[in-house]
Amino acid sequence: MKVSTNQYFTELTRHLTDQQGQIAKLQAKLATGEKFISPSDDPDAAVKGLSLKSIMAEQDAQMNNMLGLEARLGQEESIISTMRNMITRMQELAVMSSNATFSESDRKAMAIEVRGYRDEMLSLANSRDDNGAYLFSGASTGNPPFVAGAGDSVSYTGDATRLYIEMDVGQLLEINTTGYELFSGGSGTPNSPLDVTGGFAVFDDFANALDDSDMVEISASLSQLDSVRASMETATSKLGLRRNMIDLKKETNVERQLILQSMLSRERDLDYTKAITELSSRMLALEAAQSTMAKISQLTLFNYLR
């Protein structure tokens, strides 16, 4: 079968154009580092890649939640630790004031110190997180949980609601410390405001006993202070467990992200060695075709009539 000159040049031009297109596509892939420029290049890989990216975005959101929660729990732990130190100092004052070598004026000075700790703990108990939510108010995060009333009275306006987040499917983690846990170890009678505000009553009674040099009440305050401190130690232990759970979740999350990233890399990332080899091969083929076309285009019938 004879092939006309026009057909030959048309086919050669089509071949050159195809080679140039493939070279341009390979250069674009090398520039982006990805196997395909558009989803149509490899629809299956594109769908898998989008699915993996979606899962990784969810993992990133979970990690951000864990970091935010970790910061909140760290803040709670720091506050409770400060309170415990204040109570420990009060216990030291109770022991010191029981010694007959201290005068009534000494005990009155101690009472001033105790009331200072009491007021500072009231302020700390109304602490808020970075989002402005009150830490120890249960579900009533928009209102200060402990409110000072007439005289030395303190009322609790929060509740005993425990807040949770879903760390994984079917896995919930408690994220808050209520006022009841803070001052009464999670009392079994949370509807009684005396349970949650009893700690402040202990501080006030101790300060009054120091003012009056009432040795019996000072001695009684020592064990009462120990009970309040024990409640805070329990709350601190729970915080420690929650932070351990978060650490484990973060480790799991990092491992999952590495696996997902590896899977995404297999679907998306370009094999540079293979791509460069193919690019070199196509460029050589293009140069050869261009050279051939240039030579053929110069041939005419007069070449054979010389």
**Is the pTM above the cut of 0.75?**
no
Burial of 109 (0-12, 13-18, 19+ CB in 10 A): middle
Tokens of 80: 């409770």
| Residue pLDDT, tens place only, 24-80 | 676 766 766 666 666 666 677 777 777 888 888 888 888 888 888 888 899 999 999
| Residue pLDDT, tens place only, 207-249 | 999 999 999 999 999 888 988 888 889 889 989 888 888 888 8
Burial of 179 (0-12, 13-18, 19+ CB in 10 A): buried
- Phi (first) and psi of residue 174, to 5 degrees: -70, 135
User: Please, which residues have CB within 8 angstroms of residue 244's CB and are 6 or more apart in sequence?
Assistant: none
3-state SS class at 166: strand
- Phi (first) and psi of residue 191, to 5 degrees: -80, -10
Q: Could you tell me the CA-to-CA distances from 95 to 121, 198, 200, 219 in Å, in that order?
A: 21, 21, 19, 8
| Residue pLDDT, tens place only, 120-179 | 999 999 999 988 999 998 888 899 999 988 878 888 888 888 888 877 777 788 888 888
Q: Which residue has the higher pLDDT, 3 or 207?
A: 207
- Phi (first) and psi of residue 101, to 5 degrees: -70, -15
Domains of the chain with bracketed CATH: 53-262 (1.20.1330.10)
